[in-house]
């Protein structure tokens, strides 16, 4: 049985990861990435796909804490630039 403290620590870690990801998206735009049309959100989504492998849009939206509709639009743009 997992102790309540352990569950709280895991939940805190998940919330912290999401907060750091959001902050990172806002702070790390680079001129090379922008010139390539790679926004921080697109870069983050691509990195999640690389780490997770095959992943559905709903799972990806959940992992990235994004609105599924917005993610669908982003994936269409990423696909069209491929």
What is the per-residue pLDDT across 28-56, written as a single tens digit (0 to 9) for each? Answer: 666 766 777 777 778 788 888 888 888 89
Q: How many angstroms separate the CA atoms of 74 and 82, rounded?
A: 13
Residues 6 or more apart whose CB falls under 8 angstroms from that of 66 comprise 41, 45, 60, 74
The whole-model pTM stands at 0.54
With 80 as the cut, is the pLDDT of residue 64 above it?
A: yes
Q: How many angstroms separate the CA atoms of 39 and 8, rounded?
A: 33
Angle between helix axes 40-52 and 68-80 (nearest 10 degrees) is 90
Residues across the chain: 82
């Amino acid at each position: 049985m997992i102790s309540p403290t352990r569950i709280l620590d895991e939940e805190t870690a998940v919330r912290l990861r999401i907060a750091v990801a959001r902050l990172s998206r806002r702070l790390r735009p680079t001129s090379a990435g922008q010139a390539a049309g790679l926004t921080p959100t697109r870069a983050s989504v691509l990195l999640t796909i690389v780490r997770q492998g095959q992943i559905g849009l709903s799972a990806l939206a959940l992992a990235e804490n994004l609105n599924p509709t917005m993610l669908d639009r982003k994936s269409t743009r990423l696909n069209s630039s491929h």
